[in-house]
A and B are shown apart, each in its own frame.
Chain A
Amino acid sequence: MTVGNKENEEFAPSILVFSTDSISDPGIDLAGSSHLAYPSTVSVISLPCSSGIKPKWILHAIEKGFDGVFIAADGTDCPFLPDCTTRTAKIADTAQSLLKEKGYDPQRVKMGAICSVCAEPFANHMRNFFNALQKIGPAKKGGGKDGI
């Protein structure tokens, strides 16, 4: 890894991003076409709308080994639901409580509005989240500082 915190170079947190087909995914694409670098341990699964993410998918991702989950929300640009931001925030909240119950640090879930041209904000979010997760440590098998 060339990106991230030098001290923890051995630990490259893996991040799962839930993006949306028509709004945040084009923004993430644009980060790539603008050649903005972010860690290669970031992977994206795209859905129609961020209000359709199940909190249990997030828990599943962390339990199976992702160190963090980022919800790239449609925000006010959502083509489906006028209250998309509120709904997505609620999903993020529920996921955080689920993680907490299982002894994970709720900060492993993060949400940010990513619009179709939000290339910079996305790359920044990824770098910052990556650094934050390096501090928290790996999620798998209680390797992190969760619960402290």
Chain B
Amino acid sequence: MTERKVGVYICHCGGNISDYVDVHKVRDVVESEDGVAIAKTTMFACSDAGQQEMIDDIKEQKLDGLVVASCSPKLHLLTFRGVAKRANLNPYQYVQVDIREQDSWAHREDHEGATEKAIRLVRAGIAKVRQSQPLKPTEVETVKKALIVGGGIAGLRAALVLADMGIYVYLIEREEKVGGWASKFSVMYPHDKSGKELIGELLSEVAKRGSKITIFTNAELLKKGGYLGNFDITVGIGGDTNEAETINLKVGAVIVATGFDTYKPKQGEFGYGLKGVVTLPEFKAMVEASDGKLEYDGQQVKNVTYIYCVGSRQKADVENANTYCSRYCCNAAIHTSTLVSKVDPTVHQFHLYRDIRTYGKYETLYEETQKMGSVFLKFDEDEPPVVDSSDGTLRVRVKDLLTDREEIEIDPDLVVLVTGMVPRENAGLTNALKIPLGRDRFYNEIHPKLRPVETVIDGVYIAGAAQGPKNSSESVASALAAASKAAGLVMKGYTELQPLVAYVDPDKCEWCGLCAEACPYEAIEKSTDEQRGKEIATVTGMLCKGCGGCVPVCPTDAIQVKDYEDHTIMDAIDALLEEV
């Protein structure tokens, strides 16, 4: 016999339930269940009158458990948790039983069966509530400071916006100077803005924020300790990490904005290594430096031939293949070609491509360069262009799909390999933060559609091209988005965590590590139980999502999730099976 005092309310839902389920019979049967102090039917449990009746009963009868058998918990779980709260009952001592969507509506032709099922379901609900404990969301204090790793355009922009929100920022940059790739460009698409100027603008704004933003250069993240909202970060400053001076920072959130590298073609790949064959970033620098005319090796350039998708969209059988599309390169190459036409409109430009991906508004760049005279030839990925200079002349041969696969020969002054983006070498950082990499070896978000800046590690966000190829304005948008998530965590100075998390029974646990392996959230660690003199698993409740993935792997039944314990589930099963 339990000492619990449970109130049970069975809703008619104005006939939606009671037309198929004999709600009075359900009440009569469950009334005598162990622990039930009061059992009633109600026309509309969710109505104001229905809610008030429950509140009065809970208070008057000093109930310590509430079961409402009505519609799906997706509709009214929070309504009735609210009822419990208003009656000073812990909301986790309330169980909703779905006898509408999962009973009366599904068994409309079987009233007897539906009624029997309702009895079983309500009994299971009562069994569950009997096991329930008062639980509270854990409130964790969060440090109103953020760490940004990487001082490119994404990192700097995130730093500024966080400082403006009133969040103190540390920014660490591996290189000697902040600014990243953008600071190397003078003209960027689509607005012909100078990357150098944009970075300059950001840096002068950073300076205005004074002590709110602290930048460390030549600095690398060595270690992350602590937990969500309270990370302890060790940063090594200056030169080789072994000799580095280390500092410790306490921050609430971390944003990783470590950017990308450009693809470096292999020797001989599309003639790379031959005189006159350059990559897009190299060419871009030449165009930007040109003073009225385009020259290479002292000669005027009259013919430029671009080969697209170098180091991107590679076939899977290429060694370390980059099978992904690098997103920015079509736009960047086409934009560069418009710059060339502006420097010298007489330069012939041939673009050998697979698909032109000037998505969205960038399409207008594609139109513009065609108007300026650029010629586009499409090649088949199985028959890529061939570059050679065996007879002393740089020559490109390509079969053009647009003219019936006719082989075309071009003798350009320059071949520009439109190279893509590759992930940055960051093994140390990846290791310290434990952010997973995707198949493309960029940092992986927790969900590619709706959670593109969050990672499986709570409180650690990714921004910019570190997550995947992006141009500068897209990197800025993602940096701001990451900042918004970081702000959600640290702005209020605390965060609430749901209490239904895993926990370990130290008597049963004989540390084997299987649970820790099963948890992608790094929520389980080995610890020493001094009292019992053994090593056991410990769950960091703050990191646990309560999914229960660790539960079935435990060989000794030592790990459980609150509210879903063995006895809770098995009691519910038994209750469902009891004779009606």
A binds B: yes
Residues in chain A within 8 A of chain B (CB atoms): 1-3, 12, 14, 16, 25-26, 28-33, 35-41, 43-45, 47-49, 51-57, 60-61, 64-66, 79-82, 84, 87, 91, 94, 123
Closest beta carbon of chain A to B25's beta carbon, Å = 15
Known A26-B74, A52-B564, A61-B573; judge A43-B124 contact (CB<8 A): yes
Closest beta carbon of chain B to A65's beta carbon, Å = 5
Whether the Cβ atoms of B577 and A29 lie closer than 8 Å is no
Cα A45 to Cα B98 in complex, Å, equals: 10
Closest beta carbon of chain A to B6's beta carbon, Å = 19
Known A31-B106, A57-B569; judge A41-B547 contact (CB<8 A): no
B545 nearest CB neighbor, chain A only: A80
Known A41-B113, A41-B117, A81-B520; judge A47-B564 contact (CB<8 A): yes
Q: Does B176 contact A (CB under 8 A)?
A: no
Chain A contacts for B573, CB-based, 8 A: 16, 45, 57, 60-61, 64, 66
Whether the Cβ atoms of A52 and B549 lie closer than 8 Å is yes
Chain B contacts for A39, CB-based, 8 A: 107, 113
The 7 A-B pairs of least Cβ separation, nearest first, read A52-B548, A40-B113, A80-B547, A32-B101, A32-B105, A29-B101, A40-B107
Cα A28 to Cα B564 in complex, Å, equals: 20
Residues in chain B within 8 A of chain A (CB atoms): 72, 74, 98, 100-110, 113-114, 116-117, 120-121, 124, 447, 500, 518, 520, 545-549, 551-552, 561, 564, 566, 569-570, 572-574, 576-577
Whether the Cβ atoms of B547 and A81 lie closer than 8 Å is yes
Cα A91 to Cα B549 in complex, Å, equals: 11
Chain A contacts for B120, CB-based, 8 A: 43
Chain B contacts for A52, CB-based, 8 A: 547-549, 551-552, 561, 564
Not counting A31-B101, A66-B573, a sample of 4 additional A-B residue pairs whose C-beta atoms are within 8 angstroms of each other reads: A2-B109, A25-B72, A33-B105, A53-B548
**Which of A3, A32, A53, A60 sits near B110, CB closer than 8 Å?**
A3
**Which of A16, A48, A56 sits near B561, CB closer than 8 Å?**
A48
A51 nearest CB neighbor, chain B only: B549
Cα A3 to Cα B566 in complex, Å, equals: 33
Cα A60 to Cα B576 in complex, Å, equals: 12
Chain B contacts for A36, CB-based, 8 A: 106
Closest beta carbon of chain B to A48's beta carbon, Å = 5
Whether the Cβ atoms of A28 and B102 lie closer than 8 Å is yes
Whether the Cβ atoms of A32 and B124 lie closer than 8 Å is no
- 23 A-B residue pairs with Cβ-Cβ distance under 8 Å, sorted by A, are A1-B110, A2-B109, A12-B113, A26-B72, A28-B102, A32-B100, A32-B106, A33-B105, A38-B107, A39-B107, A40-B103, A43-B117, A43-B120, A43-B121, A43-B576, A45-B572, A45-B576, A48-B548, A51-B552, A52-B552, A57-B570, A65-B577, A87-B518
A55 nearest CB neighbor, chain B only: B552
A87 nearest CB neighbor, chain B only: B549
Whether the Cβ atoms of A49 and B117 lie closer than 8 Å is no
B500 nearest CB neighbor, chain A only: A48
Chain B contacts for A55, CB-based, 8 A: 552
Whether the Cβ atoms of B74 and A25 lie closer than 8 Å is yes
Whether the Cβ atoms of B564 and A64 lie closer than 8 Å is no
Chain A contacts for B113, CB-based, 8 A: 1, 12, 39-41
**Which of A33, A54, A123 sits near B551, CB closer than 8 Å?**
A54
Whether the Cβ atoms of B110 and A40 lie closer than 8 Å is yes
Chain B contacts for A43, CB-based, 8 A: 117, 120-121, 124, 576
